[in-house]
Amino acid sequence: MNTLDLIRQNPDRFNIVALTAGKNVDALIAQAREFKPNVAVIADPDCYDQLAEGLNGSGVTAAAGPQALIEAAEQSADLVLAAIVGAAGLAPTLAAVRNCPTVALANKECLVCAGSIFMETVKEYGTTLLPVDSEHSAIFQVFDAALSDSVDRIILTASGGPFREWSLDRMAVATPAEATAHPNWSMGAKISVDSATMMNKGLELIEAHHLFPVAEEKIEILVHPQSVVHSLVGYIDGSVLAQLGLPDMRTPIAYALAWPDRMAVPGERLDLADIASLTFEAPDSKRFPALRLAREALQVGGAAPTILNAANEIAVARFLAGEIGFLDILNTVEETLAQCRNDHPTTLDEVMALDAEARRLAQTWIAVGSAAE
């Protein structure tokens, strides 16, 4: 929606060839009728009839299902914005990498689930990969690729989410509504819960490891409640470069859309005098074990990051459905990591098989826990 808002303001600069959605068929119909892509794809096959009926007479081809998503990503285009949430975005994004010169990546799970495979494909096809997550976009803007040996560390900032100052007892009874009420950003439910557990920062740590030539131990995380400093890069001479801006996803999206140039983004501008102070603090590893789990998964390697992500997706979905408590999310992830075999996948099919196994184990753990209660 943020991307389409920018394109709406620059109608002579962009032409959309494909649009996709998960299940929100009404929004996809409205967007397709406005922007006239060649094809509109709904991921849920059960929504196809409604989509086709809604696009009747529009000249836009309707399609549905996982294969249709891949075919949409293979359309001839200058840039693909990959923003499908979760592991479901992996196959379409890889298809885009193989067929499009530039991919703007807003799906961190591609690099978490299959980082080596994904980056090898990017290299093989000579694809330009532009990070869209605000943190990685910030690093990309201040990371001197020509002098990468001069980089001493990368610092990812985190808002701390809605539970930054909550006790564990209070977090144990947190509701989905409370977990999705992010203090700074307007995001989808799953990403908002990941922010509340700080798993989003753990996933971003793994993503940063693949995107930038910096060792895992040189990637730090710093809590910054105002979400103004989006990330920092430290150099060996003691300099630390930061990218600042208001918490508005249109800024990193615009940077990717216009790269290597910049484009105007309307709206409020950052006023540091008005903000007056910016604060920083170390994350609390006891209340937010997701950071430890993510770092351990990255260190172990193999399928561990895939397992981490799969278990987290299942646990977050069950929490949002009211089936488990907030603290059970990371308990489920940790237990699944302990039980699931850690192979070293070399193909997408192997990654998806391990992803499916981790999901089954997570579901089983949740069911056993519920029965015990």
213-232 core/surface letters (b: 16 or more CB in 10 A; e: else):
ebeeeebebbbbbbbbbbbb
Closest by CA to 246, choosing from 134, 342, 110, 346, is: 134
Residue whose pair of structure tokens reads 């285009």 in the numeric block: 77
The total of structural domains in the chain comes to 3
Q: Is residue 296 part of a domain?
A: no
Report helix, strand or coil for 324.
Answer: coil
What is 243-275 written as a DSSP string?
A: EE--S-THHHHHHHHHTTS-----S----HHHH
Return phi, psi of residue 338, to 5°.
-70, -30
One domain, residues 277 and 355? no
Cα gap 154→138, rounded to integer Å: 11
Q: How many residues does the chain have?
A: 373
Provide the H-helix boundaries in the chain.
2-8, 25-35, 48-54, 66-73, 90-99, 109-125, 134-142, 168-172, 176-179, 189-197, 199-211, 250-258, 272-275, 290-300, 304-320, 328-339, 348-372
Strand partners of residue 311: none
Which pLDDT value is given to residue 4? Answer: 96
Note whether 225 and 150 are same-domain residues.
Answer: yes
Structural domain contains residue 170: yes
Residues 282 and 156 in one domain: yes
Are residues 216 and 165 both part of a single domain?
yes
Q: How far apart are CA 369 and CA 373, in angstroms?
A: 6
Q: What pLDDT does 371 receive?
A: 47
**Tens of pLDDT along the chain (373 residues)?**
999 999 999 999 999 999 999 999 999 999 999 999 999 999 999 999 999 999 999 999 999 999 999 999 999 999 999 999 877 899 999 999 999 999 999 988 889 989 999 999 999 999 999 999 999 999 999 999 889 999 999 999 999 989 999 999 999 999 999 999 877 766 778 889 999 999 999 999 999 999 998 999 999 999 999 999 999 999 999 999 999 999 999 999 999 999 999 999 998 999 999 999 999 999 998 889 999 999 999 999 999 999 999 999 999 999 999 999 999 999 999 999 999 988 889 999 999 999 999 999 999 999 876 545 5
Assess whether 155 and 269 both reside in one domain. yes
- Tell me whether residue 293 is in a domain: no
**Within a domain: 355:** yes
Q: Are residues 282 and 148 in the same domain?
A: yes
Alpha carbon of 261 to those of 77, 117, 148, 175, 320: distances in Å? 19, 29, 22, 43, 40
Torsion sign over Cα 123, 124, 130, 135: negative
Residue 138 lies in a domain: no
Phi, psi of 220 (to 5 degrees): -110, 160
- Same domain as 325, residue 199: no
pTM (whole model) above 0.85? yes
| pLDDT at site 215 | 92
Q: Are residues 70 and 115 in the same domain?
A: yes
Q: Are residues 67 and 40 in the same domain?
A: yes
Q: Which of 56, 233, 269, 240 is nearest to 155 (CA)?
A: 233
Q: What pLDDT was estimated at residue 254?
A: 97
- 292 is a domain residue: no
Same domain, 148 and 112: no
Please tell me what DSSP assigns to residue 184. S
Residues 163 and 128 in one domain: no
Using CA atoms, how far residue 275 sits from 74, 141, 160, 312, in Å, is 44, 23, 18, 35
Q: Would you state the pLDDT for residue 373?
A: 52
* Residue 209 domain-assigned (yes or no): yes
Q: Which domain holds residue 314?
A: 301-363
Last residue of a domain, one of 132, 164, 187: 132
Q: Which helix (H) or strand (E) holds 221?
A: strand 219-223
Measured from the Cβ of residue 241, the count of other Cβ atoms closer than 10 Å reads 16
Strand order in the sheet with 102-105: 79-82, 102-105, 128-131
What pLDDT is recorded for position 186?
67
- Between CA 93 and CA 83 the distance in angstroms is 9
Residue 56 is assigned to a structural domain of this protein: yes
Q: Are residues 128 and 151 in the same domain?
A: no
- Contacting residues for 58 by C-beta, under 8 A, at least 6 apart: 32, 33, 36
d(CA 316, CA 204) in angstroms, rounded, equals 17
Residue 151 phi/psi, 5° resolution?
-80, 125
Q: What CATH number is given to the structural domain containing 309?
A: 1.10.1740.10
Strand partners for 104: 81, 130
Final residue in a domain of this structure, among 132, 154, 187: 132
Q: How far apart are CA 345 and CA 298, in angstroms?
A: 14
* CATH number of the domain bearing residue 106: 3.40.50.720
